[in-house]
Structure formats: C-alpha cells, structure tokens
Structure 1
Amino acid sequence: MELPKPVAISDGSTDDGSGSFLEEFQCQHYSGGFRENHWEEEFEKIPLFMKKAPSEIDPRENPDLACLQSIIFDDERPPEEQAKTYKDEGNDYFKEKEYKKAVISYTEGLKKKCADADLNAVLYTNRAAAQYYLGNFRSALNDVTAAKKLKPCHLKAIVRGALCHLELKNFAEAVNWCDEGLQIDAKEKKLLEMRAKADKLKRTEQRDIRKAKLKEKKEQDQNEALLQAIKARNIRLVSEAATEDEDSASEGLGELDGLNYENPYGARLRVDDQGRLSWPVLFLYPEYVQSDFISAFHEDSRFIDHLMVMFGETPSWDLEQKYCPYNLEVYFEDEDREELYQVLPQSTLLQVLQHPRYFIKALTPAFLVFVGSSTFCRKYLQERKVHRIK
C-alpha cells in the first residue's frame, strides 16, 4: 500500500497565497484563551470541570455539554446502561439537595424497565429517599414497598420504610418493619433506635385511645343520666332546626341527639350526685340590648335570688339606675305563638321549665327582663299577648 506523500509547507517564496495567510495568522492574537481574572468562570463552562450542571441546556450556549448529554442518554444503548445513567444523575442531584430533580431522574431510570431487579430496587429506594425529604411520605412508602418486593433483603428500603411509617404515625407498622430489618441485621443501630421510639409511641397512642374511649363512655353515661332526668321532669327540649309543626317537634323533645351539649359560652347542663340539674341560663335586657349569663342555675333556685345578686350593684349600662331587683319583671317567650309568659320572681327554675309552653333551645333556657314600670316595657308588652303564671 502506497502512503501519501508529505505536503511541503511553503516558506512564503511561492505565489500560491499560503505565505500571506501564514503571515496574517501569526499576527493575529488568540481569542479563545482563558481570561486571567475570570479563570474559574471559564473552567465552569467546560463539562469536565463543571461543579453543577445548568438546569436547562441550550446547544447554542453549551454545545460541548449538549453533545456529551446526547452521548450519555443515547436511546440505542441497552436499558440497563440507560437506567444506571439516570440513577447516577439522580444521585448527583440528591447530593446537591435537588430532590425534585432527583425524583425525575430516578423515575426516568425506572421507565427504562431494565431486567436488573437489583438496579430497579435501588432506583425505587433512592427515589423514596428523595420523596421523603420532600415530605411526600406516602409516595416514599410506596417506593420502598416496591423495592422490597424486588429485593426482600434490601436493608436500606426497610429502614426508609420504617421512617415513613413513623412520619405517617403508623407506629405498629413501623415496629413491624424494624423487626423485619433486624432479622437481616440484628445489630443495625438505626433500626434498633427506631424500633424503641416507634414502640414507645405505639404504647402512648394505645393509652390515649383507651383514655378517649373511657371519656366517651363517661360522657355517654352522663348524657343518659341527663336524658333520664329531663324525661322524669317532663321538660321539653327543642333544637334550633326543629320544624314549626308542634307535633313533629314534640316527638324529639325527650332526645338529646342533635342538640348542642355545650353552648357558645362554654357551659353545659349538669346533674349532681343527688340527681338535681344545674342549667346554663341566659337573661336578656331588650331595652338596652344587654345580657347576663349564669353558667349554673340550680333548678331549685328562685329567680329573685339571682336577681338580687346580679343587681346588687347598678350595672354600668343602667344610667337611670332603674334596674332594681324588686322593680323587675321576668318573662319567657313562646316563639311559635308569639306570646309571652310572665314568671313570678319567687318561682324556682324547675317550676318554670315544667310549664307546658316552655321549650328549651340548645339546652340553654332564656328569659326576658324588663323594668315593669318603664315605657319601653309597656310598649313591648302591648305588641304581644301576655300570660300571667299563677
């Protein structure tokens, strides 16, 4: 085979034009070199020396990197190689704490559906770790579960699965995963620490559940005692949602279901050891748009006794100082009939609540209080039918 003859370089004495080219070339300054003051930036543009790859690669700005990427992610390579490349890329993102990008890389690796079960298990486990740091604990748990199916003895997957169950407050499951991992490595420190923590939290949770059940049972017993006490007194209850039809409302008056056990003031109807009731009671003063709330009005107490306490001193809103206990008149309202019933001050609360036209809303009896001799009271009463309770 005949080799090509070497080409002689002209010394500039010929007329082929090469001499002038060389002279011009030698006179030109090289513009592609590194700038002394910006050498770190220049190095960062070279793929081999890049500390961090750009989020988006523009072939015009980074032609070398774009070319390298096309080689690395060549779809013609075997699926195993492609999956491993995505795994390595995901690991780099993970080290940089770019967890969302790491999830994308591991996902792309899994999409290659390579036949290497161990590699797929690693991709699932690594993606679970990235999801964990993103706070996606359920997604992370799904990934480690998939990894464990592919590789039952994959300890990293088991550790991360136990961590996910802890975050999801599945303490019993966390203990089970730890036990499974300790069968593989009985001295694994993370699993031992996690199991102790999960078991303690599980016991605390079980104790809290028992307490909650006991509290619920106690409340049920108390409500049943209240229900029986109310029924025994023939007291009528009605919810805010009751219909205007008296018969349909009366059918549910003896039931506490659907009623507010605790009113907006935070007080509740209570029964004492002797079976006597104490009610939260609301006094309304329409003339001044004011109110008083008694958290525990014992059913055997008289109205005059409470009025003496409430108006022992003149309230700040009573500028005329006319709200004196013995000047006051107390009424309750039958809203369905738009009628008022006057309450004798010497009456006990129980006597009034047993009146056939008294219906208690939300377990909180309410009463209207007026100054009997006032103009406001006379005008208010003229607009409604008034019944005097004997």
Structure 2
Amino acid sequence: MASSAPQGDSDDDMDGFMEKFKEQKYKNAFNESNWEEEFDKVPMFMKTAPEEIDSKSNPDLACLQSLIHDDARSPEEHATSLKDEGNEYFKEKNYKKAILSYTAGLKKNCADQDINTVLLTNRAAAHFRIGNMRSALNDATSAKKINPNHLKALIRGAQCCMELRSFAEAIQWCDAGLEVHPTDKNLQQIRTAADKQKRAIERDARKAKVTGKKDQSKKEDLLNAIKERGIKLLQGAKRPKHDSDEARGPTGAMAELSLDGLSSQEATGVQVSLDEKGILHWPVLFLYPEHQQSDFISTFCENSCFLDHLAVMFGEELPPWDSDHKYLLQSLELFFEDREKQTLYQVDPEMSLLRALQHKRCFVKVGTPSFIVLVKGSSFCKQFLTGQTVKRL
C-alpha cells in the first residue's frame, strides 16, 4: 500500500497556490475594459450574428452551425433548426437573412407539413417587412394551400392584399379566415378596412362614369355646333382638301372632325366652349408681326365683331410697345392667313367672328383662330404684303 503525504505538506502547498493566485491574474479571464466585447463572442450571449462565420474567428459559432447543417440529421431536424435560425435573424430585423434561412429550410423538403407551413408563413412575414408584397402573398397562398386554417397565413395574405390595393381579394382572405376563426380581431379589422376601401373605389368609379358621360356629351354637342356652322379645324398637320370640301359642302368637310382639333387648352388653358344658349366662345389670338407681339382673347363670342375687341385694346390708351403711336383704331387692318394657298384674306373689323370663321379658306389651327393686325399704309405693312396674294372677304 502506497504511503500518503503528511497533512501538513498538503496544507502548505494549498497556501502557496493561493498566495500565487493573489499575485498573478488568470491569463484567460475577461479584461475589465473589453468584457462586453468578449461576452458578445459567446454564442449564447451574442446580440447579433456575424456576417461571416468561420472556424478561425468564431469557432464556437461555427461548431453550432455545423450541428444545424449536419447531414446526418433528418430533414425535419434541419428544417426546424433553419426555422429557428431565421427567427433569430427576424428578431434582429435582418429580414433578408431570415428569408435565406427560411428558404433553406423549405429546400429540405421535410415531410412535416406543419413545419413547412410555418416556414412559408414566416418567410411571408419577412418579405412583407421589406416591401416584397407579391412574394409575401405568394408565400401566404402556399401556406394556405397546405393548411387552409392557419391563422397567421390568413392574416398575412389579407394584409398583403390590402397593401396591393386588392380589396376584394383581401375580403375573400378575411372571410375564409373568419369561418374558422370568427372572433379574431385582426381579420375583423382588416375586413372592415377592405370593405370601406372597396366601397370608396366603386363609388368613385360610378362618379367617374357619370362625369365621363356628361363630359362626352358636352364634347359631342360642341363638335356638332362647330360642324353645323361649317367651321374647319386643323387636326395636326393635316388640312381638309379644299376642292372636295367645296363640292361636298360644310357637312362633308366636317366628317373627319374630332376633338384632336380642339387642343388649345393644353397650350393656353382655355378651349372653345358652348354656352347654355348654344353660342360658341373662342380663344382668339391677335398677332402684331411688326413688333413680334400678340394679344390673347380667352373668350371671344362668335357673334361679336372684331372692332369690339380692337376698340378696347387700341382705344384711349395705346400699348406700350407702340412707341410711334401708329396703332390707331382707324388705321388697323385685319387678316387671316391661308398658308396652303399662300393667301391673306382681309377681314372687315365690323365683321363678326363667326362670319370670318365660316369662310371656306379659314382654318382654325389648334382650336385657336388667329388674325394678323397691320397698320394700313405703313412701311412694314407694304413690305409684309409684298409678294402676297391678298383678297377681301
């Protein structure tokens, strides 16, 4: 039998060890200044998972991850571990990584449909959080196919439909859910909101339809009024052919008229209108080529004569650009241009706008009749008219 050391010797050794322990710090202990950083390296206490996991920088975490992805385990175990991994990423609001984990879990093709349903529903939630509404809806739909009564899948599908503004479909999701979960407040609230939005859209659609019919009726009345007067609208770069127009008369000339010829509203903010008495009011442009100036009359009644407006513009006070004071009312001459025939037609200032517009060679461009104003006998007038064919109405 071996002899044991005397009790006094062992006590002395322990005393010596304790004295040495007091003098020397434990080499592997956490440092006071960085203990939180060191603590965060321990998998159990990590606040967030590192972007890259390898055996050198994170041996403990790499070991745990290898357990998760251990090929020796069953597909159900793999899927469950990946689901838990995705849930941790989800808690950290790292939704993209959560989606990758849930996707990896689904690829394990485990036979447990409950696990697959949760993976799909959780992935739908992650997609929802980053705004991938269509992908979220697809996952919720797939989860619902596996388990039609899964509450979270039903709620998520309804929420996705709301975000996609598919309110009728959202109601269908809610109704399907309320059949098996009749007291669920989330489904009740979503259905109420979806029904309200759906009714609002239907109401707006009905109003728009009624308004559209009224607007179309007004436009048709306007075009008919223009056609009845034999007024010719230029549509784009096309001009009605004058020979066939004269042969067919006003009705034939107007057969191709459409609203495209009334596009002045985009350029000027106004358009020819038909009042309650059936009278047309046109936007009219007066051009002063000598000074590169113009005047715009927003509502020129078709029964008013040109003199009515010229008297206002060149009455007591002349325009500031007329430095020579030549534009006196009695000296003004008025023309409209027929570019196709390179002809100017002189208009009597006492003539009504309607009568001028009804002339067979007067064409209204972009829904706005335009007239050239010159000073009779001026040097510019003579030069401007040189080489021009001028006819009187």
Q: 1:136 aligns with which of 132, 137, 161?
A: 132
| 1:180 maps to which of 155, 176, 181 | 176
- Is residue 286 of structure 1 aligned with residue 292 of structure 2? no
Paired residue for 1:274? 277
- 3-state secondary structure, aligned to 2:186: helix
Within the alignment, does 1:64 sit opposite 2:57 as a pair? no
Aligned equivalent of 1:19? none
Note if 1:335 corresponds to 2:339.
yes
Q: Unaligned stretches of 5+ in structure 2?
A: 1-22, 246-251
> Residue type of the partner of 1:314?
L
- Structure 1 unaligned spans of 5+: 1-26
2:84 maps to a residue whose letter is: D
Q: Deviations over 1:136-182 (max 9, x none)?
A: 22221111111111110111111111111111222222222222221
The equivalent of 1:201 in structure 2 is 197
Cα distance change, pair 41–234 in 1 and its aligned pair in 2 (3 A)? same
The 3 A distance-change label for structure 1 pair 282 and 115 is farther
Give the CA deviation at 1:326: 3.0
Identity %: 54
| 1:114–1:120 Cα contact (<8 Å) kept | yes
Are 1:255 and 2:257 counterparts? yes
1-structure distance, mates of 2:378, 2:54 = 88
1:123 counterpart (119, 124, 129): 119
Deviation at 1:373, TM superposition (A): 3.8
| Structure 2 contact 284–298 (Cα < 8 Å) conserved | yes
Which of residues 140, 148, 154 in structure 2 aligns to 1:152?
148
Distance across 2 between alignment mates of 1:85 and 1:383: 93
- Matched letter for residue 210 of structure 1: R
1:327 Cα deviation from its structure 2 partner: 2.8
C-alpha contact (below 8 Å) 1:244/1:336 kept by paired residues? no
Matches of 1:195 and 1:248 in 2, distance apart? 64
| 8 A contact 1:237–1:254 mirrored in 2 | no
Compute the displacement of 1:211 (Å): 0.8
- 1:236 positional shift: 0.9
How large is the Cα RMSD of the aligned pairs? 2.5
- Does the CA contact (< 8 Å) of 2:54 and 2:62 recur in 1? yes
The C-alpha deviation readout for 1:90-146, integer Å capped at 9, x for no partner, is 211221222222222222222222222222222221111122221222221111111
User: What is the CA–CA distance in structure 2 between the aligned matches of 1:352 and 1:60, rounded to whole Å?
Assistant: 94
SS at match of 1:36: coil
- Mapped to 2, the partners of 1:269 and 1:113 lie a distance apart of 70
Out of 297, 300, 310, which is 1:297 matched to? 300
Q: Separation in 1 of the partners of 2:243 and 2:123? A: 65
**Mapped partners of 1:329, 1:142: distance in 2:** 74
Question: Any idea what the Cα deviations from partners look like across 1:271-320, whole Å, max 9, x if unmatched?
Answer: 12222111122222222322222221111111111122233433343333
Q: Output the TM-score relative to the length of structure 1.
A: 0.85
What is the correspondence of 1:349-360 to structure 2 with a 5 Å cutoff?
Answer: 349-360=353-364
SS in 1 for 2:131: coil
CA distance in structure 2 between the partners assigned to 1:126 and 1:208 by the alignment: 36
Give the corresponding residue for 1:23: none
Tell me the equivalent position of 2:12. none
2:375 match: 371
Between the aligned partners of 2:337 and 2:35, the Cα distance in structure 1 is: 90
Q: CA deviation at 1:334?
A: 1.4
Contact 1:227/1:256 (<8 A) preserved = yes
Question: Do residues 169 (structure 1) and 152 (structure 2) align?
Answer: no
- Cα shift at 1:251: 6.2
* Aligned AA (1:255): L
Q: Match of 2:5?
A: none
Indicate if the aligned counterparts of 1:303 and 1:345 stay in contact, CA closer than 8 A. yes
Do the aligned partners of 2:149 and 2:180 also contact (CA within 8 Å) in 1?
Answer: yes
